[in-house]
Amino acid sequence: MASSASYENFEFYHASPSATSTPSATDTSGFSVRSDQDSFAYCRTNSEMSSVFTEESVYHDPSSPLAKSGGKGLPLCQASPTRLGMKQYYSHVGDEPDAEPEIDDIDLELDMMREKYSKLLLGEDMSGGGKGVCSAVALSNSITNLYATVFGQTLRLAPLPAEKKSMWKREMDWLLSVCDYIVEFVPATETFKDGTPLEVMTSRLRSDIYMSLPALKKLDNMLLQDILDSFRDTEFWYAEQGSMSKNANTKSGSFRKIVSLRTEEKWWLPVPCVPAGGISEKARKHLQQKRDNANQIHKAAMAINNSILGEMEVPEAYMSSLPKSGKACLGDSIYRHITGADKFVPEYLLDNLNIGSEHEALELADKVEASIYIWKRKVCISSMPNSKSTWNLKDLVNDKEGDKNHILAGRAESLLLCLKQRYPGLSQTTLDTTKIQDNKDVGQGILESYSRVLEGLAFNVVSWVDDVLYVDDQQKNKVLSI
């Protein structure tokens, strides 16, 4: 690796005895900082010192005590070359085929791991000028980019290729290993041999990571193994739209007109095809079961993602960009629906709006979410304690105004929730994007990005199953109509 070549003499990485094993999310001792040393109490190792002061230079220095003793002083440890350094050395020495040692998988994993963590430490600023993003954003972007690399070309119900599955598990273990060191102190009790109890403070994973990360790992495993791996020998197949034949009797072009009604906006997706009589009842039950499982995974991942986003701080830049009133944000029509009726029904409002595209739904979500924080800000301002100890007319007016704003904020929240439920594949709102970009909490950044990519994968699986069931229904109806 080119980036490692210039740093081969500076051995800032020292593999522990467990580094030869495959890293995982629970065992990351092979590439993490030693837990028995303080991070501030950094000491050079013998190999580092010997790389700076070699044995020959010390012996020829007249002021050296080893030179006065004839070189019989304390033995110096020679610098032990790294595996990457030896690989680069042998690649430039001689033309003999035996000169270069065999590089096993551990060496390759070490190289990839060093490259991954070097980019994270640089904050995606390859110039090294310190203009990179913070660690939380860098880790969030790494998980998002890894998902795009592994699943970007996965557009059908089929097992993930072994190479991509190995890449996903390996690199996710590296990125999630950071969570093993995000801890909090909790009180605990230890008992001595004589039975005397002692209250101590022990460290454990932070509560949000302790609750959410195992659940996300389980959802990840269910999506890859329980769902995608189950579609090995299927009764349906896929055909690329660009290569479909006009002959209706061919296997690849039978249902182009049927499926094109659903995929005309996403023409690049492969088209599912079924036999002439449709798929069997057993295969259909299997598809329905996996769809229900993927739908539950989608809801769980979305709930975790919404919870993490809700815990993130609202950036000050977002609050300062909001209008002063909710009416100016929502518009007259929506504002009258929210404030006019005694009993607010968000489903009725959405039906009257006639939202025709995802872009319109996302634009409405941005407006509603902005109005929520406008009214919440007014509630906070009106609930600030008055310097006077007695109540007056102005205080009563402010209290009523605060109640009104609180009710309007609650109605807007119910409208936003109903909108997201009606459009589950809705993109992130402006507030969510701003929170992710300005987030400084590493744990929240990892949990948010991990839950977001799993939510997207589960939603895609549900859509793929629906496409197959749709084609099967159309084909069976076609047979019955003959």
What does the pLDDT look like over 369-382, one tens digit per residue? 999 999 988 888 77
Q: Which of 72-86, 255-269, 336-350, 439-453 has the lowest mean pLDDT?
A: 72-86
The two tokens of residue 21 are 């094993």
Same fold yes or no, 105-239+269-308+443-481 and 314-385+393-438: yes
What does the pLDDT look like over 7-32, one tens digit per residue? 344 333 333 343 334 444 434 333 33
Mean pLDDT of the chain: 74
Can you give the pLDDT at residue 104?
65
Position with higher pLDDT, 172 vs 193: 172
Please determine, for residue 322, whether its predicted confidence score (pLDDT) is greater than 50.
Answer: yes
Position with higher pLDDT, 241 vs 75: 241
Q: Of the candidates 116, 463, 224, which has an alpha carbon nearest to the alpha carbon of residue 216?
A: 224
The two tokens of residue 166 are 């190995």
Q: Check: pTM over 0.75? Answer yes or no.
A: no
Position with higher pLDDT, 402 vs 196: 196
Task: Report d(CA 217, CA 204) in Å as an integer.
Answer: 18
Can you give the pLDDT at residue 127?
79
Q: Which fold has domain 314-385+393-438?
A: Methane Monooxygenase Hydroxylase; Chain G, domain 1 (1.20.58)
Dihedral sign for Cα atoms in the order 323, 329, 332, 336: negative
Please determine, for residue 345, whether its predicted confidence score (pLDDT) is greater than 80.
Answer: yes
Can you give the pLDDT at residue 107?
77
Task: Report d(CA 172, CA 149) in Å as an integer.
Answer: 12
Q: Which fold has domain 105-239+269-308+443-481?
A: Methane Monooxygenase Hydroxylase; Chain G, domain 1 (1.20.58)
Residues 356-376 have a mean pLDDT of 90
Angle made by CA atoms 109, 115, 121, in degrees to the nearest 5:
130
What does the pLDDT look like over 181-196, one tens digit per residue? 999 998 988 888 888 8
Please report, as a single letter, which amino acid is at residue 365: A
Asked whether 24 and 172 are in contact (CB, 8 A), the reply is no
**SS3 of the chain:** CHHHHCCCCCCCCCCCHHHHCCCCCCCCCCCCCCCCCCCCCCCCCHHHHHHHCCHHHHHCCCCCHHHHCCCCCCCCCCCCCCHHHHHHHHCCCCCCCCCCCCCCHHHHHHHHHHHHHHHHHHCCCCCCCCCCCCHHHHHHHHHHHHHHHHHCCCCCCCCCCHHHHHHHHHHHHHHHHHHHHCEEEEEEEEECCCCCEEEEEEEEECHHHHHHHHHHHHHHHHHHHHHHHHCCCCCCEEECHHHCCCCCCCCCCCCHHHHHHHHCCCCCCCEEECCCCCCCHHHHHHHHHHHHHHHHHHHHHHHHHHHHHHHCCCCHHHHHCCCCCHHHHHCHHHHHHHHHCCCCCHHHHHHHHCCCCHHHHHHHHHHHHHHHHHHHHHHHHHCCCCCCCCCCHHHHHHHHHHHHHHHHHHHHHHHHHHHHHHCCCCCCCHHHHHHHHHCCCHHHHHHHHHHHHHHHHHHHHHHHHHHHHHHHHHHHHHHHHC
Domain spans of the chain?
A: 105-239+269-308+443-481, 314-385+393-438
